[in-house]
């Protein structure tokens, strides 16, 4: 949902820039290891408390399974392929919904960004409707689409629509006036201007919109799958909760977190690799 820039930086590059610049290779590795050690104090403490609580039977084992049980379950689910099957279903829904909603959002955003008339007609209505959070639309969508596959795709499309609309809208208008002045000086034609000014200026924004859309879509999908689904990682979690298999619940929570993180990190990495001209800050 929100960007954790400082937190993520703290993980990826724990030492400050000056420290890194000053330190040589071995020192850098040592600093890195030190950071990892410091960062894992709290998780290890939690793990210790958890094992201690289990060992003393502070809570019933259905409610608080032992860490080792959770680990075993995780391995079993991975080996048995259940986890991947559920994850595949969920990811497929995200991709389809993202394609539909994202494309529509991008088309609307580009149209509104290029033409002030279209913006004047459509903009206020779309912006007003989008003020209501996606989760609140869920009951309406359930009445309209039932609880089948259409529901998931529609709600993900809705979640992905707004970020891409707003960002492509801004992307169309973001190129600084100076760039256009330079283009004027260089006497670029329309195609060259599009290729050299408009698209490079808009792409980083589009990528940011896509990343936001992906994270929204993932969060919303989990809710939909918990409510109304017969497959997917959210369903797996809700179902094992019903069966009081809390070890599976722990595993799915970890998988949901890890998947969300991986998608975000992957998008960031792709952004950096594909758009080296976009140096933030």
Nearer to another protein, 27 or 186 (CB): 27
Long-range CB contact pairs, 113-119, < 8 A, 24+: 113/168, 113/169, 113/170, 113/171, 113/172, 113/173, 114/172, 119/169
Q: Which two tokens stand for residue 149?
A: 């596959």
Rounded Cα distance between 95 and 217, Å, is 9
The footprint of another protein on residues 128-147 (CB under 8 A) is: 130-140, 142-144
Tell me if 205 contacts another protein by CB under 8 A. yes
Stretch that binds another protein, among 81-89, 97-105, 184-192, 247-255 (CB under 8 A): 247-255
Tell me if 209 contacts another protein by CB under 8 A. yes
Tell me if 87 contacts another protein by CB under 8 A. no
Stretch that binds another protein, among 9-17, 73-81, 86-94, 100-108 (CB under 8 A): 9-17
Tell me if 11 contacts another protein by CB under 8 A. yes
Continuous segment of H or E residues that includes residue 91: helix 82-114
The footprint of another protein on residues 37-56 (CB under 8 A) is: 38-43, 46
CA distances from 264 to 168, 171, 207, 257 (A): 19, 21, 11, 11
The binder of another protein chosen from 208, 214, 231, 251 (CB under 8 A): 208
Tell me if 199 contacts another protein by CB under 8 A. no
Nearer to another protein, 13 or 188 (CB): 13
Continuous segment of H or E residues that includes residue 269: helix 246-274
In the block, tokens 């003020």 appear at 131
């Amino acid at each position: 949902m929100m960007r954790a820039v400082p937190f993520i930086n703290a993980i990826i590059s724990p030492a400050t820039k000056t420290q890194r610049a000053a330190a040589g290779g071995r020192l850098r590795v040592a600093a890195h290891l030190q950071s990892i050690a410091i960062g894992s104090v709290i998780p290890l403490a939690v793990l210790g408390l958890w094992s201690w609580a289990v060992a003393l039977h502070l809570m019933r084992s259905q409610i608080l399974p032992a860490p080792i049980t959770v680990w075993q379950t995780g391995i079993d689910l991975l080996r048995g392929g259940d986890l991947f099957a559920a994850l595949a279903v969920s990811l497929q829904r995200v991709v389809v919904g993202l394609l539909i909603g994202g494309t529509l959002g991008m088309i609307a955003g580009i149209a509104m960004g290029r033409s002030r008339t279209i913006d004047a007609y459509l903009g206020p209505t779309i912006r007003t409707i989008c003020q209501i959070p996606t989760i609140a639309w869920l009951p309406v969508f359930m009445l309209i689409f039932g609880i089948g596959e259409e529901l998931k795709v529609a709600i993900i499309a809705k979640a992905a629509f707004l970020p891409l609309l707003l960002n492509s809208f801004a992307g169309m208008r973001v190129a600084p006036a100076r760039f256009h002045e330079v283009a004027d000086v260089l006497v670029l034609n329309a195609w060259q201007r599009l290729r050299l000014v408009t698209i490079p200026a808009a792409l980083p924004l589009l990528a940011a919109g896509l990343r936001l859309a992906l994270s929204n879509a993932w969060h919303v999908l989990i809710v939909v799958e918990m409510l109304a689904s017969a497959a997917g990682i959210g369903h797996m979690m809700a179902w094992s909760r019903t069966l009081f298999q809390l070890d599976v619940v722990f595993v799915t929570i970890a998988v949901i977190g890890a998947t969300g993180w991986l998608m975000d990190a992957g998008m960031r990495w792709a952004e950096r690799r594909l758009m080296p001209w976009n140096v933030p800050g």
